[in-house]
Structure 1
Amino acid sequence: MAGIIGKKIGMTSVFSVEGKNIPCTVIEAGPCVVTQVKTAETDGYEALQLAYGEKKDKHATKAEVGHFKKAGVSPKRKVVEFHNTYQEEFELGQEIDVSIFAEKDYVDIVGVSKGKGFQGVVKRHNFRGVNDATHGQHNRLRAPGSIGASSWPSRVFKGMRMAGRDGGKTVTIENLEVVKIIPEKNVLVVKGSVPGAKGSYLIIRKQWN
């Protein structure tokens, strides 16, 4: 199995053998259940659908309840497909946990970054503003400056870096090392930071050598 769904718990630090303090992220990885096995014959492509997190029946639609009932499991909160990434045979309702990973493995983690709301160009695009506050520049320290020309092109080009909503985007962090695994608690500790707030869902994909 090449991936699993998880939830970000928070950050901590681990001391290496050399005595270095390594910042790490703690992730609750699974347990997930197989809710659908897609094949090229029936669906046009091969994929494995996993589900994670409990949800009450009253919060699920009739279609969701029927879909999960077919797999023999209760309704779940998060459903993700893993395309062409499995080499074994899986059955509906089969449980997959953190044991698919091992220490020293490398993983790619997908999450949704923290939303920062409407931000200016300094925070959103790393503009530096006007360094010299003299010569009448008292209110230009965080301003974007000129955004267009005059008679030509008489408009602002698309893609101009300006103020706007920042964050809240799907971000993938690659090549994160698995530092520690706690199988009895389904906890995965990876080196470095991952996108998203505490409690947000993550997709952890295992890298194959």
Structure 2
Amino acid sequence: MEEPNIIVERYDPALGVCVPASYFVPLKDGITVLQVLLYISETYDTTLAFRYGCRATKCGECAVDVNGRPRLACLTPAREGMTISPLKHLRPIRDIIVDRAPLDERISELRLYVKSSGERPLGALKVPESYERLIGCLECYGCVSSCPQFDWKKREFGGPYVFVRLAQLHLDPRDGEDRRAQARSLGIERCSSCSQCTCVKGIAIRRDAIGTLLGEGKA
């Protein structure tokens, strides 16, 4: 029998902890973490719970931690000895599925959508390059897994995803709200000397979102 080469940290709601489970998966060239999870489900345990959608890095549904770092399962190459876990700092539900609802509700409460200033800009909208980069966010919530300050149970700190959304609005010429003040009320000062949050799609959160809201640079 082949030696196990993959570990999945499966959250057991009855125990309230993640229980490591080991599997052997033949790692062919190009196989992704998502394909590994599908193989485990089809070969060993059909009850393995995980999310995925488009399989093409467009939806963000398959975000998980791989060796302790947030990754898109459909994009990340599988490696011998890797450990797949639920995203940190969000409430785990079962296996590697986390509860997105508290953060979804927080976004709804904060009303993070364009609020018109009442003025209609003439001509084509001009937005900075940082805005174009920020709107590439997949809403996968992987960034909160890498943030040492974020805790889904606490409301006083917005966290990197909220700050990305606020920076999008700040840079949108149609929006008339003071998004920097809103970010300050959500504790963005905690981020001034921290650069630990990462984006699975490569958005420079510290520079383009947090730096913008802190008033660094030109934006």
TM-score, length of structure 1 as denominator length: 0.24
Higher relative contact order (CA 8 A, sep 6+): 1
What TM-score, normalized to structure 2? 0.23
Q: Which has the larger radius of gyration?
A: 1
* Higher relative helix content: 2
